[in-house]
Amino acid sequence: MTETKVSEFPAKDSYLNELAGSKKNSKNRQIGQVKGKYGKYGGQYVPEVLMPALEELEEGYERYKNDPEFLAELDHYLRDFAGRETPLYFARNLSKKYGSKIYLKREDLVHGGAHKLNNAIGQALLAKYMGKTRLIAETGAGQHGTATAMAGANLGFETVVYMGAKDIKRQQMNAYRMELMGTEVKPVETGSKTLKDAINEAFRDWVTNIENTHYLIGSVVGPHPYPVIVRDFQSVIGREVKEQILQKEGRMPDSIIACAGGGSNAMGIFYPFIEDKDVKLIAVEAGGKALKCTEKAALHSASLCAGEEGILHGARTKILQDKNGQILESESVSAGLDYSGVGPELAYLSEIGRVTARYATDDEALEAFHELSRHEGIIPALESSHALAYLKRASEAGELGEVVVVNLSGRGDKDLETVLSLRGGI
C-alpha cells in the first residue's frame, strides 16, 4: 500500500491565469472581482460582515497547508481514522458487459461511507489549529453532515448541522447517526427544504457566531477560499488514482467519470489529471425527470448542462434560474445532487472544454444502482449511480475508451429506503 500524500497541495494553479488576484480592499472582494477567480467564475460575493472571517480562513489555510505538524496530523487521521488509501477496484463483470476495463475508485469504503470525510477531517483540523471551538455545516444526503459529526466528535468540537426537512425525511438514518455522535441537527423548513436552503441557514449562523465558529462547507462551492480548500482536501482521491492506475495498467486512463452536484468528488478525482490532456474528464449531473423547467422549478439538477451564469452562495457560477434571475428549485432522486448550482472551478473547466458535462436521469441512475449491486456485489450511493449510469450511454456512443475510472463516491445503504419506496420492492 502506498502512503497517503497530503503534502502535495498545489502552490498555484498552473492552468489558470486569473487565480489569486492582487491584495485590494475588502469592498472590491465583496463584489467578487479579486480573489479565487476561474475565468469569470468564482470570487467573493458576500456581505461585508463575512469578509473578516473569509480573510481569516484564507490566512489560516495558507499558513497551515504546508506546515509539517499539521500535515503529519492530517496524514494520521486520513490513514488511521478515515481508512485511506482506498482501493482502485477492477469491476470484472461490468468490464465484460461494456467492453472496456472499468475501475471503481472505492470512496464508499472511507469511514462513514463516502468521500466526504476527506474534506471534513481536513477542515476540522484546520479549525482546531485556528483556535475555533464550534463547527457548523450543511448537508443534503447526510453524508457531509455525518462526516462533520465524526470529525467534530473526534476533535472535541460543538457541532451543528443544518439539513433540509425534505432531506431529513429522505435520509432519516443519517440524521440519527449525526445525533448519535453528539451533533445537533437543525431541520430547515424554508424554500424547497433541501441543500440550497440548508446552506442559506448555515451562512446565517456563521454571520452571528464568526468569532468561535468555523463553517465547514461540504463542496467546492461558496466564496473563495472554500472552493480551493475543499478541492485540495479532496484531491487525495485523484493522487491515489494516478499511482494505482499506473501500477495496474502502466498507463493513464482514457476517461474518468464522476457525478457532480456541487462537485467535490468530481474535482477531487479530476484535479490531479487536469494537465493530462489525453485523459477525458466527464462530470455526470442529475437529470432528474427531464432536462426541462416549469415556471418556478427545474425538473433536474443539471447546472452545467442546462444552467446559466449567475451568483449563488457567494460565488459566480452556473446556476438554475428563471428569466428574472431568481433561483429555480432543483430536483433529483439523489439528495446529494439536489442543488441549484455547481462549483465555480468546475463551471470554468466545463466552459473551456477540459471537463465534459453529461447527465443521467432518475430512472437511469436507479437502473445503474441495481446493475452494480447485482453484477459486482457493491451497492452504490444514488449520487454515484449517476456516474455509473453514464457507462451505458457512453459505451453505446463509443466514448468510453479502453481504460475507464469511475469515482464510486459513496455507498448506497442510506438510499435503500428511497429505492424501495420508488420501486415498490427489489
Q: Considering only CA atoms, which of 114, 33, 149 is closest in space to residue 411?
A: 114
Residue 75 CB: number of other CB atoms within 10 A?
A: 16
Closest alpha carbon to 261 in 312, 304, 212, 324: 304
Q: How much of the chain is helix, strand and coil, in % rounded to 5?
A: 45, 20, 35
CB atoms within 10 A of CB 28: 16
Q: Is 14 a catalytic residue?
A: no
Distance CA 361, CA 12 (A): 36
Q: Which of 107, 138, 285, 364 is catalytic?
A: 138
Phi, psi angles (nearest 5°) of residue 307: -90, 180
Q: Which of 116, 128, 166, 196 is catalytic?
A: 116
- Reading the block at residue 169, the C-alpha cell is 425525511
Active site residue 138: yes
CA–CA dist 170, 75 (Å, integer): 34
Helix (H, G, I), strand (E, B), or coil: what is residue 63? helix
Helix (H) or strand (E) holding 213: strand 213-215
Q: What b/e string do you get for 243-265 counting C-beta neighbours within 10 Å, with b at 16 or more?
A: ebbeeebeebbbbbbbbbbbbbb
409 catalytically annotated: yes
Task: Name residue, grid cell 460543538.
Answer: 158
Cα 87 from Cα 103, distance rounded (Å)? 10
Residues classed as catalytic: 116, 138, 409
